Amino acid sequence: MENRWQLIGLLKLAILTLVVIVSGLLLVWQNKTRRQIVIPGSSASILTIPYQQTLYKHFGNAINPQIDLPVKTAAGYKTLTFLIDSGAVVSALPQTLAADLGTDITRLPRITIEGFAGQKTFAYKGEFVIVLGNKEVPIPVVFSENPQASNILGRIGFFDQFNIEFDADTKSIIITNRKG
Amino acid sequence: MLKWLSRLSWKKITAVSGLALALAVLPLIRNAAVNPTRTRSEAALLPQPQPISKEFVTPEGPPQIYLVDHFFGKVGDAVLIHGANLGGLHPQSLVFLNGVALSTSDLVSWTSDYIEFKVPQNASSGSVAVSILGQPAAWAGTFFVTNDTTEAELRLVGANNQAELTAQNISGGNQLLIWLLVISGEGNLIISSNVAAPSLAIFNLPIGRIYQVQMAIPAATAAESTARPVSLLSITKNEGQTFGIARAEISLPDGGLIPVKSHPLYVSF
């Protein structure tokens, strides 16, 4: 009976400690998934992005290779979220972003682009500038007329200028400069 | 401290623990809320190289042209002819722009359903026609070859399912003919005008529903368009609907047409 209040006190202390640890771990994990580490340097990783999970209606959770990058606009730099897509020949942005980037698409060559379903959409061939590893990198892009088009980083100008590694061990995408 | 903790009620312990966990989970909930469940791949609309199709599909009837998309373009711009019974690339099949046959170097792809071409050097505005194994077909509209000097422009400006069709630099124009094409979504467009009484005809093409609007343009409205964009039509669409300008012609009193371009061509707001 003498020790009962001590046991209750210890139990409550343990519960509060556990809550603090769980909350702390949650906050640390969220911070880790949000952070993008920029390490300037020619040979080291210039950007490491933790995997992001997306819940797909028919497939459940899957890796979503998304990356937040500063993009040069007419009014300074603006961070856009891109899907890294090795299946895309060239990077793509919706045409609604062209004006923000200071691009007059009516002066750009008009082409058609095709999705995997064979659906053709018109797009305009241009260029935009991303900031990667403290460097401005011009990237060829098509501005799609499809209002639902995503921001995509494709092969030309991105995959051929940088090494992009999907590291399942560290659950991250690592972008490095080319060795050559 | 143990004594103090032992005196602390279980209610308070539960409340403090719940609050701490809720605060820690809050960013997770926010993250889940702003990342909606996706029903399609983000990788749609991948730009792909397009070899010219050389497969010839024997036409089952006379060729038809439903639409020339876009109805304007500068030299080098891609244009799609949507139709039926177009066969495929064949020595006895030709595409004409304002009566001039396009060379193979200006053709990008050719299937039974569509032909893609690039506006050739020295091209001029006019009709778009095809001859498939000697059988002709022409589009009802006019294709405009534009350049830096093309000033007449139509714009669809809108928000909350309400759009205004505005025109700029159409001085002298006295008649408007426009096709509004609904490319996705259900329901009818509601079209009205503050400047004149539009006449409306609705018909369906395999590519979508067309709203053909014809309207006289008051001289004062056309003259005012040189100073600022003037509103010609008001269009109300339904939620989730996307529509665009599939054809536009602004006539002069002598029957000639003002070369016109449009931007953006399709709107979804």
- Whether B222 maps to a domain, the answer reads yes
3 state SS of A39? coil
- Shared domain check, B232 and B162: yes
Contact A89 B264 (CB under 8 A): no
Q: Is B261 on the interface with A (CB under 8 A)?
A: yes
Instruction: Report the chain B residue with the minimal C-alpha distance to residue A57.
Output: B39
- Shared domain check, B186 and B101: no
The predicted pLDDT at position A5 comes to 79
Q: Which of B118, B145, B172 is the last residue of a domain?
A: B145
- Shared domain check, B198 and B159: yes
Q: What is the CATH number of the domain that holds B81?
A: 2.60.40.10
Q: Which of B117, B145, B173 is the last residue of a domain?
A: B145
Q: Which of B88, B117, B145 is the last residue of a domain?
A: B145
Q: Is B265 on the interface with A (CB under 8 A)?
A: yes
Bridge partners (DSSP) listed for residue B184:
B242
The predicted pLDDT at position B128 comes to 97
Among the partner residues A12, A88, A106, nearest to B47 by beta-carbon distance: A88
Report the distance separating Cα B103 and Cα B86, nearest Å.
17
- Model confidence over A41-71: pLDDT tens digits? 444 567 888 888 777 778 888 888 888 999 9
3 state SS of A15? helix
Q: Which two tokens stand for residue B135?
A: 């059988």
- Shared domain check, B230 and B129: no
Contact A23 B24 (CB under 8 A): yes
3 state SS of A125? strand
Give yes or no for residue A29 having a pLDDT over 80.
Answer: no
Report the distance separating Cα A132 and Cα A130, nearest Å.
6
Query: Do the Cβ atoms of A79 and A130 come closer than 8 Å?
Result: no
Contact A87 B46 (CB under 8 A): yes
Higher per-residue confidence, B27 vs A111: A111
- Whether B132 maps to a domain, the answer reads yes
DSSP alpha helix (H) spans, chain A:
4-34
- Model confidence over A66-88: pLDDT tens digits? 889 999 998 889 999 999 988 88
- Shared domain check, B167 and B251: yes
Bridge partners (DSSP) listed for residue B180:
B211, B245
- Whether B45 maps to a domain, the answer reads no
Parent domain of B200: 152-267
Instruction: Report the chain B residue with the minimal C-alpha distance to residue A118.
Output: B45
Report the distance separating Cα B1 and Cα A175, nearest Å.
51
Band of residue A125 on the pLDDT scale cut at 50, 70, 90:
very high
- Shared domain check, B174 and B69: no
Percent of chain A whose pLDDT exceeds 90: 23
Q: Between β-strands B135-138 and B144-145, what pairing exists: parallel, antiparallel or unpaired?
A: unpaired
Angle separating helix axes A4-34 and B10-34, nearest 10 degrees: 10
| ipTM value for the complex | 0.75
- Whether B32 maps to a domain, the answer reads no
Count of the separate structural domains present in chain B: 2
Report the distance separating Cα A129 and Cα A144, nearest Å.
17
A53: phi > 0 → left, psi -120 to 50 → alpha, else beta; which?
A: beta
Closest listed residue to residue A68, CA positions, set A54, A53, A83, A55: A83
Report the Cα A75 to chain-centroid distance in Å: 22
Exposed / middle / buried, residue B140 (Cβ in 10 Å: 0-12, 13-18, 19+): middle
Q: In which element (H, E) is residue B107 found? A: strand B107-110
Instruction: Report the chain A residue with the minimal C-alpha distance to residue B241.
Output: A147
CATH number for the A39-177 domain, one of 3.30.1370.30, 2.40.70.10, 3.30.465.10, 1.10.3720.10?
2.40.70.10
Q: Phi, psi (5° rounding) for residue B182? A: -90, 115
pTM over 0.90: no
The predicted pLDDT at position B53 comes to 66
How many other C-beta atoms lie within 10 A of the C-beta of residue B251? 18
Among the partner residues B39, B45, B73, nearest to A92 by beta-carbon distance: B45
The predicted pLDDT at position A41 comes to 43
- Shared domain check, B212 and B130: no
Q: What is the CATH number of the domain that holds B169?
A: 2.60.40.680
- Shared domain check, B137 and B108: yes
- Whether B249 maps to a domain, the answer reads yes
* Strands, E assignment, A74-119: 76-84, 91-94, 110-114
The predicted pLDDT at position B268 comes to 65
With vertex at residue A151, the alpha carbon angle to CA A150 and CA A155, rounded to the nearest 5 degrees, is 115
Q: In which element (H, E) is residue B32 found? A: helix B10-34
Task: Give me the residues of chain B with pLDDT under 70, please.
Answer: 31-54, 266-269
